[in-house]
Amino acid sequence: MARSGALRLLAGVRDGLSLSDQAGALKALSSADQARAGRLAGAVLRHNARADAVIAGYVSRKPSPQVADILRLAVVELLELDSAPHGVVDAAVSLTRGLGQKGQAASGMVNAVLRKVSAHQGWADLPPQPMPAWLREPVAAAYGEEAAQAIEAAHQAAAPLDLSPKPGVSVEGAEPLPTGSLRLHGPVQVSALPGFAEGDWWVQDAAAALPARLLDPQPGERIADLCAAPGGKTLQLAAAGAQVTAVDINPARLKRVAENLRRCGLSADLVAADALDWRPDAPLDAILLDAPCSATGTIRRHPDLPFLRDGSGIPALIDLQSRLIDHALSLLPPGGRMVYAVCSLLPDEGEAQIAAALARHPGLTVEEPALPGADPSWITPEGGLRTRPDFWPDKGGMDGFFMARLRKAH
């Protein structure tokens, strides 16, 4: 059942749907099979090109998309996940026959190919799934070819589970990270972890936790979290004692923020509005702007992203980011501070945005980050902070982010 669910998810990605948008495709499965289907689909997407390279050595012509997905799934199970060959091959043949008349005709080929694949050598020597050209070219230009390859390796390795704890909270079995987050490795059922029901922590990648720490919220400060959903940064600000207004254009996503606030015993004012139109009722001390972006820094946890996007929307995102920066700065009093952040690997969405903002706003300054646990090499010439998936390779990496703390002139 989990395998058929994984194939439904892969077909959905081919049709332009993200994995997270396809919960309905797995409704008939048990919770355990839903989780396994998601893991299998993610593994296939992370190893798609490697699986295709193996399959190409054993077929005389390109299989149909449905059969190709079955073969990829089986190859990844056999060579990456070390599943028992007999069960994998039998399941793949059965799934192929279930495709109808054309599947019946292809089942013999699938059986023959996978029996050979089960003895295949050299899987570990194949290069990782490459980033698409629209992303790889600017990444390699910005950070170098060696870094681009390391980022691809980090994407293939997937992401552990990171938690942002309330002050003084620890979680049994979790690795404390230098920047203050906690990390768990291997499959984890989040709701079964100690401290979940008590609201002691929330799920948030270690890099995603840095912008709120860079803002350095103080008790009683009035802070706006613009483009706030899914809400991890709102929770950080509230846990620090700030008076938080979380603004997001999507009411449904704000409901998730509200649920996490309730679970964690924290409070914030939630406003469903376009951040470009919103203005506060009273003066603000600070703003956290986690702007809409290409999300290219999150591929290690969203392996479907490279299959869904072609880079064509980035110019519009860059324009939106610039307008959001300008609007957010207009909401701050003289001397107010703002952190701008994007979960993107592209300098045009990060470093270049800060350079352009400084040119547009005389007197605006960048305050060099001084974050506990952050490597000094992460600091950019502009005074921002750049994280990448290939950082902390011995610990499991982190998402790609750019962030900078800006100060308005007095």
Residues marked as catalytic: 343
Task: Tell the residue number behind the tokens 């008790």, with chain if given.
Answer: 219
CB distance 226 to 283 below 8 Å: no
Sign of the C-alpha dihedral computed for residues 386, 387, 389 and 392 taken in this order: positive
d(CA 52, CA 226): 42
Which residues, 6 or more positions from 6, have their beta carbon under 8 angstroms from its beta carbon? 36, 37, 38, 40, 41, 44, 73
> Three-state DSSP class for 355?
helix
- The rounded Cα 68 to chain-centroid distance in angstroms is 26
CB distance 165 to 198 below 8 Å: no
DSSP symbols for 190-211: GGGSTTTTTT-EEE--TTTTHH
Q: How many CB atoms lie within 10 A of CB 111?
A: 14
Which of 299, 286, 300, 404 minimizes the C-alpha distance to 347?
A: 404
Task: Using DSSP bridges, classify how beta strands 337-342 and 286-290 pair: parallel, antiparallel or unpaired.
Answer: parallel
